[in-house]
Amino acid sequence: MKVRHLMVPLLAAGVIALGAGIAQADEQSEWLKKAQLGQFAPMKQDWKAIEAAARKEGKVVIYSVSSRIFKLQKKFEKKFGVKVVGHDIASAIQLEKFRREHKARIYQVDVLFNNATPLLLNEFLPRKMVWNFVPDSVAGKLDKSEKEPFLVQRWSSRVLFYNGAKHPGGAPIDSLWDLTREEWRGKFLMPNPLESSVQANVIQTILQHPKEMAAEYERKFGKPITYSKKLKKATKKNPLLGKPDAAKEWLYRMLQNKPTFLRSTTKIFKNIGSVKQKNPPVGFTTFSKIRKNKKGILDARPAYDVKPVFGVSYPTVLVIADRAPHPNAAKLLVRYMMEKGFKYWNVHGDYAARSDVAAKQVKKFGIPPFEDLKMWPIDQTYVYDHKYTYLSLFLALK
C-alpha cells in the first residue's frame, strides 16, 4: 500500500509532464504574443498602450534582491494606479522559488530583480523562463552589454576596503598578494565564498585571471611565482581542477593566511571602518556600503590602487518572468526603475548602467568614473561553468 501510494502521483506526474510539453510551447507563444515579448516584440514600443493596459492589470509582482523596492511602492501606485507587490528575497533563493513555481505552472511573478546572472544566463534564459525587455526610452544610454542578454539596471561591486582613520595617507595594501603576506595574517575579512554567491563570483573571477595574477606577483615580490606542494598535489589528484597557476596559488596562500568569514557585508564594512580600534583589518565588501561612513564613527575607504584589481563588478538586472500575469505593468515597472524610480538605488558606490546617470553620480559622490576603476566584471558563463571546479578547488586548498 505504501508503495502504491508513492507510485501513483509519480506516474501521474510523468504522464502529465509528457503531454504538457507540447501544449506548453503553444501556450507560451500565445503569451508572448499577448505580452509582445520575444519574437513578438514590436519595432517601436507604444507606451500609451502599455500604460493603459498596465492600469487595467492593476498590479505587478516583483521578486527583488533589494529591500529598497518597498520604498518605491507608494509613488508608483500613485502615479500609475498599479499596485507593486514586492518580495524581498536573495537572488539565489529567488531563482529557486521561481524555478519551482514555473515548473509547477504557477505563474504569479512578473519581474525579477536579481544579481545571480550566471544562473539567469545559463539556465533561465536558454529555457525561456525569463525574457529580456529594454525600454526604448533608455536604450540609447546603455552599452550593448547592458541591453543584451538582459537589461542591466546598475553595476555593483565587491571591493577591498581599509580603515581611513588609521591610514589617512592611503591604503596600507597595494596588491591582492598582500592578503597572502604575514602582515595581514588573520586580519582580513570577507563573506564566506562558499556561502555568498557574490563572493564566490569574486574568487572565481580572480581564478579566471592567472596571467594577471602571475604578473602582479612578479611586480610585487620581484621574482617569478612558484607553486606550493599542496596545490600541485591537489591538481594532480583531481585533473578536473586544471594545471597549477598563479591565481590558484593565490587562493591557496590567501586561505592559509586565515581569512575571517563574516556573514553580513554591513558588518564587514563597520568592522573595517570603525574609528575606535587599534589594529583594524582590511576586507572585501560591497562598494555601496561606503554610504554608511559617518564622521567620527565609521571611516572605511576603498583601496582603489590595489593591483591587478581592487574588486570585481557585477550587474543587477531586470528581467520579465515567463508567463507573467501582468506583462504590461511589468514593462512599466522596469522602465520606472530605469528612470524616475532609479533614485532609490542612486547611492554612493553603485554605478547606474545608464551613462547619463552614471556621469551625474561621479560628480555628486566624488568617485572615479566606472571605466577608470580597476575592476574585472564577472564572466557569467565562466562563473557558471566552473562552479563545481571552483568548489572542489576551494575545498581541496582549504
Partner 1 sequence: MYLVLVPLAQLIWRTVTWGEGDRRLSPAAVEGEVTGFHWMEAFSGPSSNAMLFEPLANSLFTGLFAAVFALLLGGVLAWVVTRTDMPGTSWLRPLLIVPYVVPSFAIALAWETLFKSPRIGGLPGLYETVLGFGPPEWLSYGPTPIIITMTIHYFPFAFLLICGALASLDSQLEESAELLGASRWTILRKITFPIVAPAFAAAAILTFGKTIGTFALPFLLGQPVQYATLATRLFSTLNQGLDALGYILALVLIAITALAVYASSRVLGGNLNRFETIGGKGFKGQLTRLRNWRWPIFGATAAVALAVAVFPLLLLGYQTLMLVDGFYGFDNLTLHYWIGESDPELAEGEPGLVRNDVILGATWITLKLAFISAAICSVVGLIIGYIVVRDRGGWIAKLLDQISFAPFLFPAIAFAAMYLSLFAEARGPIPALYGTFTLLVLISVVNRLPYGVRTGTAAVAQIGRELEEAAEIQGASWMRRFRQIVLPLATSGLVAGMLVSFVGVMRELSLIILLITPSTRVLMTVGFRYAEEDQVQLGNALILLVTVLTLAGQYLVWRLGKGRLARLRERSG
6 belongs to the binding site for partner 1 (CB under 8 A)? yes
Q: Give how far Cα 14 sits from Cα of 7, 19, 62, Å.
A: 10, 9, 31
Separation of alpha carbons 161 and 173, rounded Å: 10
127: Cα separation from own chain's centroid: 20
Angle at 248 between CA 157 and CA 204, to 5 degrees: 30
24 belongs to the binding site for partner 1 (CB under 8 A)? no
Please report, as a single letter, which amino acid is at residue 2.
K
For partner 1, the closer of residues 4 and 44 by Cβ is: 4
Among 135, 164, 244, 281, binds partner 1 (CB under 8 A): 281
Question: Contacts with partner 1 in 86-115 (CB under 8 A)?
Answer: 86-89, 92-93, 96-97, 100-101, 103-106, 108
For partner 1, the closer of residues 47 and 107 by Cβ is: 107
- Nearest to 160, CA basis, from 199, 121, 112, 131: 199
Q: Give how far Cα 225 sits from Cα of 211, 270, 396, Å.
A: 11, 35, 20
Among 2, 48, 78, 144, binds partner 1 (CB under 8 A): 2
Binding segment for partner 1 (CB under 8 A), chosen from 79-87, 215-223, 245-253, 354-362, is 79-87
173 belongs to the binding site for partner 1 (CB under 8 A)? no
Among 32, 134, 152, 262, binds partner 1 (CB under 8 A): 262
Binding segment for partner 1 (CB under 8 A), chosen from 132-140, 142-150, 271-279, 337-345, is 271-279
Separation of alpha carbons 210 and 250, rounded Å: 9
Separation of alpha carbons 216 and 149, rounded Å: 33
Among 31, 314, 345, 384, binds partner 1 (CB under 8 A): 384
Q: Give how far Cα 120 sits from Cα of 17, 92, 96, 123, 317, Å.
A: 23, 10, 11, 6, 10
Separation of alpha carbons 9 and 160, rounded Å: 52
Question: Contacts with partner 1 in 284-313 (CB under 8 A)?
Answer: 294, 297
270 belongs to the binding site for partner 1 (CB under 8 A)? yes
Separation of alpha carbons 373 and 310, rounded Å: 8
Nearest approach, Cβ of residue 34 and partner 1 (Å): 22
Question: Contacts with partner 1 in 198-237 (CB under 8 A)?
Answer: 200, 234, 237
Among 271, 288, 316, 380, binds partner 1 (CB under 8 A): 271
194 belongs to the binding site for partner 1 (CB under 8 A)? yes
For partner 1, the closer of residues 108 and 355 by Cβ is: 108
Among 15, 18, 168, 279, binds partner 1 (CB under 8 A): 279
Contacts of 110 (CB under 8 A, 6+ apart): 60, 61, 62, 320, 321, 324, 325, 326, 327, 329, 330, 333
Among 50, 60, 72, 119, binds partner 1 (CB under 8 A): 119
Nearest approach, Cβ of residue 247 and partner 1 (Å): 18
